[in-house]
Amino acid sequence: MARILVTGGAGYIGSHTCVELLNAGYEVIVFDNLSNSSEESLRRVQILTGESLVFIKGDIRNQHELNQVFDDYQIDAVIHFAGLKAVGESQQIPLTYFDHNITGSIQLIKAMEKAGVFKLVFSSSATVYGEHNPSPYNEEMPLSMPNNNYGYTKLIVEQLLQKLSQADQRWSIGLLRYFNPVGAHKSGQIGEDPQGIPNNLMPYVTQVAVGRREKLSIFGHDYPTKDGTCERDFIHVVDLAKAHVFAVINRLKQTGCRAWNIGTGMPISVLQIKETFEKVNCVAIPTTFVERRAGDLAAFYADATRAEQELGWKPQYSLEDMLADSWNWQKQNPNGYN
Ligand code: NAD
Ligand code: UFG
């Protein structure tokens, strides 16, 4: 079976993807600097699967460390999660984001080329569709400039990967455009563990539920949506993780560069998340409505038919599963991996 290098594999989506790769029989090598994660997630991945993986602590900006990995292990394909992801922080420290997300990706590509490894699956985001495309987003739509520096790094890396594959036929690149990943492994042993105050909705909700935060603030309730709050396309992290396995299988057979939306195609509002979470989990989420958050779009969701047609991937989990599994993880791990 193929051997997969997973950069950022100790993180939220990476750890769930390691579970799916190991369950599918792949060999897994994780390369992560642990700047936003803990080795504990990987220990639990191995317990859950009964399989072992190799962990290498290193930084994707470090060419020497990367070259060493490719010298030490024969790698068949790379899944590239490593990077920084906080939209607000990317506005404060853009250069740090350019360095990790753009320079880091270039260093990885250079190390791959040097080692003769040309199969890559990249973590992109729905943010590359910019502000003006109507939902549902499909992969034929022209991309446009995201309104924040984090999104900008995803657009740049997508574009340079496109150009690379056009110039050199040896490359086979999959761009997975994630919508809003939530949920956790059914066991509650691995999940999302943000440092400090969560930026994203779901970990904020679960931290209110567990008593770590007083109340949820809903940013804006005067949007042109069904209940006035923003609508997003929430996707269970296990479904998202499985999409990576399908993408690797596809890339091991194909060449070129291809993008796939990974979402459910169902717009769900912020208020619906709060209310369904309360209902499914029988726990109250004290809530207040506050001003809109700068930069938020009213609504966006995926047309995910291409992923189904070309990868054979289809989401399996319901909204109720997403909310029950998020809570199961948080309840069992009130302070995350600490
Ligand atoms: P995460 O922070 O949990 O995982 C990222 C991992 O990368 C962490 O383990 C971190 O320690 C590691 N890392 C960061 N910089 C590194 C570097 N320079 N060298 C080596 N390792 C480094 O985030 P996640 O939610 O699992 O996201 C994974 C990927 O998916 C990211 O590229 C992110 O931008 C992308 N993405 C996430 C979302 C989301 O909402 N979670 C949405 C769209 C795209
Ligand atoms: N929200 C709240 N209160 C909170 C947190 C969020 O009301 O405490 C709302 C936001 O205003 C937004 C919705 O919940 O309407 C979802 O917000 P998130 O921050 O969870 O997610 P975003 O849709 O803003 O961001 C996601 C990914 C980014 C990506 C972006 C655009 O997290 O990586 O989509 O694709 F860049």
What CATH number is attached to the domain comprising 74? 3.40.50.720
Tell me the average pLDDT of the chain.
97
H/E element, 252:
helix 237-253
Reduced to 3 states (helix: H, G, I; strand: E, B; else coil), residue 148 is: coil
Confidence band of 155 (pLDDT split at 50, 70, 90):
very high
- The range of the structural domain enclosing residue 250 comes to 3-184+235-263+303-315
Taking residues 120-133, what's their average pLDDT?
97
Taking residues 14-29, what's their average pLDDT?
98
Q: Which residues pair with 219 in a beta bridge?
A: 290
| For the CA of 229, the nearest atom of ligand 2 | 15
Measured distance CA(165)–CA(174) in Å, rounded: 11
Torsion region of 182: left, alpha or beta (phi above 0 gives left; psi -120 to 50 gives alpha): beta
Query: Is the previous residue joined to 224 through a cis bond, with omega within 30 degrees of 0?
Result: no
218 domain residue, yes or no: no
71 domain residue, yes or no: yes
CB-defined site of ligand 2, < 6 Å: 85, 87, 125-127, 150-151, 180, 199-201, 204, 217-219, 230, 232, 270, 293, 296
70 domain residue, yes or no: yes
Residue 338 is predicted with a pLDDT of 87
Confidence band of 335 (pLDDT split at 50, 70, 90):
very high
Instruction: Point out the ligand nearest to the CA of residue 122.
Output: 1
Percent of the chain surpassing pLDDT 90? 99
Confidence band of 57 (pLDDT split at 50, 70, 90):
very high
- Terminus-to-terminus CA distance in the chain, angstroms? 34
Measured distance CA(248)–CA(231) in Å, rounded: 30
Is there a contact between 69 and 5 (Cβ–Cβ < 8 Å)? yes
| Closest CA relative to residue 229, chosen from 266, 269, 199 | 269
Tokens of 159: 């574009």
220 domain residue, yes or no: no
Ligand 1 centroid – CA 101 distance (Å): 9
Given a cut of 90, whether residue 83 has pLDDT beyond it is yes
48 domain residue, yes or no: yes
268 domain residue, yes or no: no
Reduced to 3 states (helix: H, G, I; strand: E, B; else coil), residue 172 is: strand
Percent of the chain surpassing pLDDT 70? 100
195 domain residue, yes or no: no
Reduced to 3 states (helix: H, G, I; strand: E, B; else coil), residue 268 is: strand
Is there a contact between 277 and 283 (Cβ–Cβ < 8 Å)? yes
Tell me the per-residue pLDDT of 27-52, one tens digit each, with 9 for 90 and over: 999 999 999 999 999 999 999 999 99
Given a cut of 90, whether residue 251 has pLDDT beyond it is yes
Based on the structure, what is the number of domains in the chain?
1
131 domain residue, yes or no: yes
